[in-house]
Structure 1
């Protein structure tokens, strides 16, 4: 089994429609099989994606009027045979992102050589950028990782699985290490802490992750580092995050 995947936090504010128009054209020209996007909050942005990236005939998301639940959208060039949204329980302190109903979007995709379960997630933000055990936001993230681990563990161990998205937790965090240990997943970056959040915005580090089950190999790279030209002619970055692209390979998982 082979698949090329992308995860990208698109940044919902600012010139979102203009940036997303460029992103949609970019992925339409790409050879990604599956694209996981975060912060696709607006229905206008979702409609733009569907109108421009037409080769992605299969799309998974959860409606939650007037928003897209969790801001999570998964695009696929291959059939989605199952989808499920696992919500994270809102936990204090109260903050605007509660309105998004954050969680994880699970999709099972039928590839030419077998099935792949794709987990697209966006955890709560750590507004203090403090991941010590005493920090209230760090405790929220830890609880969300535990809930995500329980959901991942429900997927049969024989199913190839990739979990990716904006975890909002640094790659060297003990909370992420606990999650990896609990689920048996593997960090496709091998612990490399090269920032995935643009340093010119904040020194947060590698908070976007791509994790795979044993038996699934991943060759990763950061993408969308350079500025692009918007429809207005102005140059801008696509987001405050970089994207993560990966080539996944595994043995045949074709159903008997």
Structure 2
């Protein structure tokens, strides 16, 4: 069977923190494209608040199976959620609480530690496929070198993420998606893939996933979003999603998994 997966940071931030229209105004465009696509599973990041989550859900009527861990506000904890056309299994969530920078000023370390508590990772199963989506802390310096104050912070978050994935035990096929906020050409990439334990289907094309117009002037664009694979399935048709339509400050990714997975097609509704 074939399973097509897509991921996007939808930039569901409050209006005073974003130059984009509210996600409630962009949800129709996201839904229109996905409803006309062959995507089976859509993982999202930065979907903050119950209102935003429900707005996106309304525009994805064929993605009837929705997974998130409810925050106190009722919206997705960590801003991460998964929408699926196929039935999903139990949901697990963990935040990045306990991770913090080890260098720089006390105020910087304290604010980043607080921010880490609000971000996290979500795991859900679809038959024998484990699908995880995550959102790591943003590197506001735009520097992923070993001397940067975010470097060890990101290494610690990656260690928490990979431990979280392994907690379920071995899965026949695991898919890890999300906004890692780590440049694919940086020294941290080896920790993203655990020295090649994860297959990175976008490694050679290495397309840009953050739009240049939303970066400070003079900044370099990078791929900071990933779909990583661990298991026997092969990736096909790995490409950008929403590259030509500005529906977020990120460009999404999508690919099809073939072979090595057992995906049960649900019966048609009665």
Distance (Å, rounded) in 1 between the aligned partners of 2:168 and 2:184: 24
Partner deviation per Cα, 1:98-137 (whole Å, 9 max, x = no partner): 1871111001013xxxx21111111100011111222222
Distance (Å, rounded) in 1 between the aligned partners of 2:169 and 2:196: 12
Match of 1:209 in 2: 226
Match of 2:106 in 1: none
Match of 2:180 in 1: 167
Contact between 2:129 and 2:261, CA under 8 Å: does it hold in 1?
no
Change (3 A) 1:151 1:183: farther
Equivalent pairs counted in the alignment come to 242
1:60-79 matches, cutoff 5 A: 60-66=67-73, 67-79=75-87
1:134 aligned to 2:147? yes
Change (3 A) 1:252 1:242: closer
Contact between 1:184 and 1:214, CA under 8 Å: does it hold in 2?
no
Partner deviation per Cα, 1:3-35 (whole Å, 9 max, x = no partner): 011000111233121112211232222221100
Match of 1:148 in 2: 161
Q: Which moved more, 1:212-221 or 1:178-187?
A: 178-187
Match of 1:102 in 2: 119
Contact between 1:69 and 1:100, CA under 8 Å: does it hold in 2?
no
Which blocks of at least 5 consecutive residues in structure 2 are unaligned? 13-17, 102-108, 265-270
Distance (Å, rounded) in 2 between the aligned partners of 1:47 and 1:107: 19
Name the Cα RMSD after superposition.
2.2
Distance (Å, rounded) in 2 between the aligned partners of 1:190 and 1:27: 24
SS of 2:176's partner is strand
Once the two structures are TM-superposed, the CA of residue 252 in structure 1 deviates from its matched residue by 4.6
1:222 aligned to 2:240? yes
Match of 2:25 in 1: 18
SS of 2:188's partner is helix
Contact between 1:10 and 1:40, CA under 8 Å: does it hold in 2?
yes
1:249 aligned to 2:262? no
Greater strand share, structure number: 1
Distance (Å, rounded) in 1 between the aligned partners of 2:149 and 2:241: 32
1:85 aligned to 2:93? yes
TM-score of the aligned structures, taking structure 1 as reference length: 0.86
SS of 2:123's partner is strand
TM-score of the aligned structures, taking structure 2 as reference length: 0.82
Match of 1:230 in 2: none
Match of 1:121 in 2: 134
Distance (Å, rounded) in 2 between the aligned partners of 1:211 and 1:137: 22
Which blocks of at least 5 consecutive residues in structure 1 are unaligned? 228-236
